[in-house]
Amino acid sequence: MKLYKSLRFRIFLSMLLLLVLTFVALSVLTGIQYKEEAEDYHRERLLRKEANIKENINYVLKNTTYPVETDMIPLIFKTKIYEIKDIHNLEIHLYDFEGNLLKSSRASFLKDTSYAKLSTRILKYLEDSPTKSYIYSFEEDGQQYQSSFSYLTDASFKPLAILNLPYIEDDGFMTKELRENLKRASIVYGFMLFIAIGLAYILSKYITRSLQTVTEKITETRLNKRNKKISLQTNTSQEIETLVEAYNGMIDELEVSAAQLASNEREAAWREMAKQVAHEIKNPLTPMRLSVQSFQRKFDPEDPNISEKVQEFSNTLIQQIDTLSSIASAFSTYAKMPAQQDETLDVVTITKLALDIFNEEYIYFFSDEKEIISTFDRTQWIRVITNLVKNSIQAIEKKDPESPRVEVRVFTENQKIFVTVSDNGSGIAEEHKSKVFEPKFTTKSSGMGLGLAMVKNIVETYGGTISLQSVERKGTTFTVCIPLDD
């Protein structure tokens, strides 16, 4: 049985996959949650720094001696911009409304924020924003950056310049915390996985135990014997209980059907057998009746040849009576086989003995072993051999080949005795192969067709099988296989 087809394996695998997929899903969700929290954290932190820097800038603007105008921004923040940078530990860039750089806290800038002039895209976003602020996010060399843009105004809320604050997103701490959480979750889920394996094994075994019992009983179910019902346990599930009840009901119906079928088959078999016997008996009765009538009409006590005619008449009757006796013997033999008289014998020797009754010179015997000891009924074993050889002889006489040959071979293989009887006779037609072992089937002009049926009956009594291979006009091979005694 393939493993993936096992219900027990599927239950076991499903529980493990459910746990593993749950861990993967939670890990992905945790990662997404940490990422969103990190983004929110950095955005809020940047906005807080922006608000604090603007307060410092407004303080400088209130206390400057220069006119508070856009053109004076470089002079107003000539040194103050560095103080503000040191206080908030953040680079500061000031632009005019055309995007030209007015003042910066450093001489060189990051690649994405080092333009001497802001792009028109950023200016448009800033102008269209209801809050007059814009945050631009980008990545460089695997590092995440945010850059905020907002308007600076004077005391009258008149725009003076554009404030740009480049901000590096340092996720080291949060990444480390995420890894620690995933590590702890892995340990917990690893421990749970071992528990799940044990539980899955126990549950799958418990669930499939009743199914295994049902499977074994169904496998043992036979039409020709009394089958046992399945006894339910007190803790059996409702589904299994329904299945078992259905099986037990099937067993009851099967016993009734088997008994009825067997009775019908017996009646049909004996009915057909009676018809066949009646037909066979009529064949010799007809010439007997004609002979008696003819003798009665032509009888003349004064006939000088009366003795010869009486002798001829007697021979005719005796011949037909012998035919009737043969029919009765064949029917009796098939209908009631004598009780087996098993004895330990040498199959090779008994087979040779069975062949001694034949006078045909074209019968050859072969054996791969000097002796094969087993337990059989001597008479029945001889009957098997003689019937098969007789069939071969009749097939050869029907074809009359130039070099007739019948081979009987005995050998053992895999603790079984094999006997093959081969001939180069007329063979068996394809449409007749499936019927040769049936009672009353015959292709001959005489006989009741019980020989091979009797052979099959004897062989099956010893737990064996008989089969044939035949090609029409070329020959036939019968193979008998019987288990060898241990």
Sign of the torsion angle spanned by Cα atoms 459, 465, 468, 469: negative
In a domain, 184, yes or no: no
Query: Quick one: pLDDT at residue 439?
Result: 67
In a domain, 403, yes or no: yes
pLDDT category of residue 172 using cuts at 50, 70 and 90: low
Say how far apart CA 480 and CA 464 lie, in whole Å.
7
**Percent of the residues in the chain that have a pLDDT greater than 70, as a whole number:** 70
326 and 235 together in one domain: yes
The pLDDT of residue 370 is above 60: yes
pLDDT category of residue 229 using cuts at 50, 70 and 90: low
The pLDDT of residue 112 is above 50: no
Tokens standing for residue 243: 């299945």
Query: Quick one: pLDDT at residue 111?
Result: 44
278 and 417 together in one domain: no
What confidence tens digit (pLDDT) does each residue in 53-80 have?
888 888 888 888 888 888 888 888 888 8
What confidence tens digit (pLDDT) does each residue in 315-368 have?
767 766 766 666 666 565 555 555 567 888 999 999 998 888 888 889 999 998
Query: Quick one: pLDDT at residue 233?
Result: 61
In a domain, 180, yes or no: no
In a domain, 22, yes or no: yes
E strands present in 260-362? 342-346
In a domain, 193, yes or no: no
CB distance 420 to 389 below 8 Å: no
What confidence tens digit (pLDDT) does each residue in 372-415 have?
999 888 888 888 998 899 889 988 988 888 889 999 999 999 89
319 and 377 together in one domain: no
> Residues near 48 by Cβ (< 8 Å), separated by ≥ 6?
none
The pLDDT of residue 109 is above 50: no
> Residues near 254 by Cβ (< 8 Å), separated by ≥ 6?
221, 223, 227
Q: What is the mean pLDDT of residues 299-306?
A: 73
- Helix/strand/coil percent split, the chain, to 5: 55, 15, 25
CB distance 393 to 358 below 8 Å: yes
298 or 413, which is more confident? 413
Say how far apart CA 149 and CA 453 lie, in whole Å.
105
> Residues near 21 by Cβ (< 8 Å), separated by ≥ 6?
none
186 or 178, which is more confident? 186
CB distance 341 to 379 below 8 Å: yes
376 and 415 together in one domain: yes
366 and 460 together in one domain: yes
Q: Among 336, 355, 382, identify where a domain stops.
A: 336
E strands present in 227-377? 342-346, 363-367, 373-377
DSSP letter for 111, please.
G
In a domain, 183, yes or no: no
> Residues near 186 by Cβ (< 8 Å), separated by ≥ 6?
23
What confidence tens digit (pLDDT) does each residue in 118-167 have?
888 888 888 888 888 888 777 766 667 778 888 888 878 888 888 888 87
328 and 348 together in one domain: no
CB distance 340 to 380 below 8 Å: yes
Query: Quick one: pLDDT at residue 482?
Result: 93
311 and 443 together in one domain: no
What confidence tens digit (pLDDT) does each residue in 9-35 have?
777 777 778 777 887 887 788 778 777
CATH number at residue 145: 3.30.450.20
23 and 128 together in one domain: yes
Domain count along the chain: 3
70 and 152 together in one domain: yes
Of 29-38, 171-180, 193-202, 385-394, least confident by mean pLDDT is: 171-180
Query: Quick one: pLDDT at residue 477?
Result: 94
370 and 326 together in one domain: no
Q: Which domain holds residue 455?
A: 339-483
20 and 110 together in one domain: yes
> Residues near 101 by Cβ (< 8 Å), separated by ≥ 6?
93, 94, 95, 115, 116, 117
Say how far apart CA 227 and CA 256 lie, in whole Å.
12
Q: Among 106, 140, 175, identify where a domain stops.
A: 175
Q: How many alpha carbons fall within 13 Å on the CB side of residue 276?
A: 20
CB distance 456 to 468 below 8 Å: no
CATH number at residue 459: 3.30.565.10
What confidence tens digit (pLDDT) does each residue in 411-453 have?
999 899 999 999 998 888 888 887 788 765 455 544 445 678 8
- H/E element, 481: strand 475-483
Tokens standing for residue 274: 């009676």
Q: Among 307, 336, 365, identify where a domain stops.
A: 336
What's the residue count for the chain?
A: 486
In a domain, 205, yes or no: no
Alpha helices in 129-171 (DSSP H): none
259 and 356 together in one domain: no
| Confidence (pTM) | 0.38
Q: What is the mean pLDDT of residues 219-243?
A: 64
In a domain, 207, yes or no: no
